Structure 1
Amino acid sequence: MSQESCQPSHPTTVLIPKARGGRAQRAVYLLLALCATALYLTGEPLRLTARSLTSHFVVLQIGVLLKGTCYLAEEIFHLQSRYHGNFWRALSACFPLRWHGPILLICGSAYVALLDGDEQPLSLRLCLASLCQLLILALGLHKPSAVEMSEMSETSKQNVAHGLAWSYYVGYLKIVLPRVKESMEEFSRVNPNVLARRETWKLHILVPLSCDIYDDLEKADSNIQYLTDLTENTLTRAGTKKRVYKHSLYAIRDEDNKV
C-alpha cells in the first residue's frame, strides 16, 4: 500500500491530540533568563532589587492565603461529605502550605530586613496587598485559562476519566434512557398492579463514590427484591449485530415493609 493511501482522505479528519511536551515550562525558563538579564543591565542597586523582588513574592503568597481562606469558608460546610469529618484534610486542601508557607515566611522576613526608615508602614503595605488580591478574587481574574485547565486535567490523568464518562454516556445512557420509559409503560400494561401510580415514576442513577457496585443487589441489601426483567432492546451498535440491552426491575421495601 502506498504512503499516500494511508493519509486521511478528508481534510477535516479529527486527529487525536498528542500529550503536551513541556514547551510552556521551557518558555518560562527562557523568559526568566531574559528578565534576569534585562534586570542586570539596568544597573539598579542590589538592595533595591532584592526589596522589590521580595515585595512581589510576599504579595503573591498573601494572595494564595486569602484565596485559601475564601475556599475554606465554603469547605467547612462539606466536612462530612467531602473530607469524612476531618478538618485538617479540608485545611490542607485549601492551603498548599508545603511550599507557600515557607516561601511566605522567608520572603516576609527578607522584606522586613530590607525596609528603609522612609518607606511606607508595613501594615499599610500589607493592607494594600490584601486589597488588591481580594479585588482580583472578587472580579474572577484568578481563574485559570482553558489551556491551564486542560493541562491540569492531562497531568492528573483526569482526561482518561472524562473519556470513560463520555463513553458511558454516548455508548450506553444515550441509547437506553430514551427506551426506558417505553419499557416501563409496556411492563405496566402487562402488570398493572406493580407500577400502578405513573405519576410517581422517577429515574435515579446511583453511582457510589467508590464505584464498587454489587453484582447481586439482593445480597447488598435485604430490602431489595428482584422482580423481573424489562423488555430487551436489540440494536446494531459499533459493528456488533443485534446487541442486547437488558434491565432488571427490583422492588425496594421501607422500614414498614412497604414496597
Structure 2
Amino acid sequence: MLSLKDEDALIPRPRGALPRACAVAMAAVTTVVIMCLSPERFFGWVSMVILALTLGPLMHGICLLAEEMLHHSNTRYRGRGLLTHILPACGLGGKTLLAALVSGLLLNLSGNPLPHIEQCLELLILTSVLYTLFKSLGVLGPSEVEVSDICEGRKMNVAHGLAWSFYLGYLKLVLPRLEDSISAFRATHQSSRPFWGRGSNRLLILIPLNANISHKLEDEDDHIRFYDNLPNNMIDRAGVRGRVYKHSVYRVQDENGKAHECVVEYATPLLTLYSMSQESSAGFGETERRQQVLLFYRTLQNILEHSLECRNRYKLILLNDEHDADPHFLSQSILNHLQQQEREEFCLTPPPHQETDNPPARPSSAPGNAPTNAPLANGEWHIGHNPAPMSRDPTLMFSEPMPLRGPVENTDNYQS
C-alpha cells in the first residue's frame, strides 16, 4: 500500500490554467513592445492577425460542414437543426463568427493604416486557405496533451466510464448493506470474532497499477487464506430477480502468525483495462493502461468521497507494481491498512459514573466561615481554597421538568 506522499507523487493531478496564464503574459508583453515601436500601425496589424486566425477555422469548419450535411445529418444528428447543432459541432459557433466580424470592422475603421493593403488581403486569404489544408491533413491537429486535457475535462476517458459504472452498478448497491452483512456473518461464526478488528468493517478494494490481477488472492500471497463468504445480497436489477452480490472474507497472517479477518477484493473493472491492453484492435498499450488505472483510482476516489451511501464503508488500496519480487507484499499492504485503521479509530466510552449518594456538605454561611464560591457584588465569583479538580470528565446535567405556573398577584393596587 502506498503512503499519502507516494500517492501524491504518483497520481496525476488535473491540469490547471498555467498554459492560459503563459499565453496571456506573452500576449501582453508583445502588445506593449509593438505599441512602443509602431503605435500608428498597431490596430491595423492586430485586426489583420485576428482576421487571419478566425478565417482559417471558419474555412475549415465549412469543409467539415460539407461532410456532416451530406453523410451524417440523419445518423449522427437525427435531423436536428442546422443552426443549433450542426454548425456548432463544425466549429462555426457564434464566438468564431463574432471575432471575425469584429476584426473586420476594426480593420475598416482603422482607415487602412497598413501599406499595400491589396497585398495584405492576398496574404490573408492565402493564410486562411493554407491553414485549412494543414488542419485537414493533421499538421495543425491537437497535441496529445490537448487531447488528454479535453478528455479529462469532459470525462471522456475509459477510466471515467469504468469508475462510474463500478460505483453505480456495484458499490452504491452493496456498500450500504455491508455492515449488516458483516454483523450477520459474525453472529454465525462465533469462533472468528477474535480475528475481527475495528478496521475490518470496511470493504478493502485493491487497485494494482499493472491491472494484472488474479482471481484467488492466495495464489499471490501464501499469507492470505480464503475463509468464507458473507451472506449473499439479493437485489432485483435490470430485469433479473434476486441477482446475487457477494463478498469474500479472507484471513491475513502477520509476521507473528496472528490472523486478521477482513473483506477484500480487487476492483473488477481492472480486468477490462487489462484485456483491452492485450487486444491489438483496441489501440490500448501498456503506457495508456497505466495512465487509465491512475485516472480510474482518482475518479473513483472522488466519486466515493462525495457519496453519502458509501461513506466510511470502503478503503481504496493502490498497489505499486514495483514490488513484485516481495512474495508477501499484498498481505503486508492489507495489514498496514488494518493497523492504520486501528490507530485512527477509537471507541467512545461513556463518562465515569459519579457518586451522588453522599454529596459534599455545603460550607456554612456564618460569619467567619465564608462559602467556598461566593458571588460578589460585581457579578464575579470568588474561588475558595478548595476548588473542584479540573481533571474531572465533563458531564451533562439535566434538570427535572417543572410545571408551568401562571403569574401570581402579590400586590394590592386598589385600596378599598
Q: TM-score range by the shorter chain?
A: 0.5 to 0.7
SS of structure 1 residue aligned to 2:79: coil
Q: Once the 2 structures are TM-superposed, how far is the Cα of residue 40 of structure 1 from its aligned partner?
A: 3.0
State the match for 1:27 in structure 2: 22
Q: Does residue 15 of the first structure (1) align with residue 10 of the second (2)?
A: yes
Against the structure 1 CA distance between its residues 163 and 53, is the aligned structure 2 distance closer, same or farther, given a 3 Å change threshold?
same
SS of structure 2 residue aligned to 1:81: coil
TM-score, scaled to structure 2: 0.36
Q: Distance in 1 between matches of 2:23 and 2:93?
A: 23
1:63-78 aligned at under 5 Å gives the runs: 63-76=56-69, 77-78=71-72
State the match for 2:52 in structure 1: 59
Higher-helix-fraction structure: 1
Q: Once the 2 structures are TM-superposed, how far is the Cα of residue 108 of structure 1 from its aligned partner?
A: 1.1
Match for 1:101 among 94, 97, 104?
97
Q: Distance in 1 between matches of 2:120 and 2:108?
A: 8
Q: Return 5+ residue gaps in structure 1 as ranges.
A: 176-213, 218-235, 244-259
State the match for 2:239 in structure 1: 216
Q: Distance in 1 between matches of 2:112 and 2:8?
A: 61
Moved segments of 4+, more than 6 Å: 11-14, 166-169
Q: Return 5+ residue gaps in structure 2 as ranges.
A: 167-210, 213-236, 241-247, 249-262, 269-416
State the match for 1:134 in structure 2: 132
Q: Distance in 2 between matches of 1:168 and 1:157?
A: 13
Q: Contact conserved, 2:48 with 2:107, CA < 8 A, in 1?
A: yes
SS of structure 2 residue aligned to 1:82: coil
Q: Deviations over 1:206-226 (max 9, x none)?
A: xxxxxxxx9239xxxxxxxxx
SS of structure 1 residue aligned to 2:15: coil
State the match for 2:106 in structure 1: 110
Q: Distance in 2 between matches of 1:123 and 1:15?
A: 52
State the match for 1:150 in structure 2: 148
**Counterpart AA for 1:115:** N
Q: Once the 2 structures are TM-superposed, how far is the Cα of residue 35 of structure 1 from its aligned partner?
A: 1.4
| Structure whose alpha-carbon radius of gyration is higher | 2
State the match for 2:76 in structure 1: 82
Against the structure 1 CA distance between its residues 73 and 155, is the aligned structure 2 distance closer, same or farther, given a 3 Å change threshold?
same
Higher RCO (CA-CA < 8 Å; seq separation 6+): 2
Q: Once the 2 structures are TM-superposed, how far is the Cα of residue 68 of structure 1 from its aligned partner?
A: 0.9
Q: Deviations over 1:221-249 (max 9, x none)?
A: xxxxxxxxxxxxxxx9x9449x9xxxxxx
Against the structure 1 CA distance between its residues 130 and 216, is the aligned structure 2 distance closer, same or farther, given a 3 Å change threshold?
same
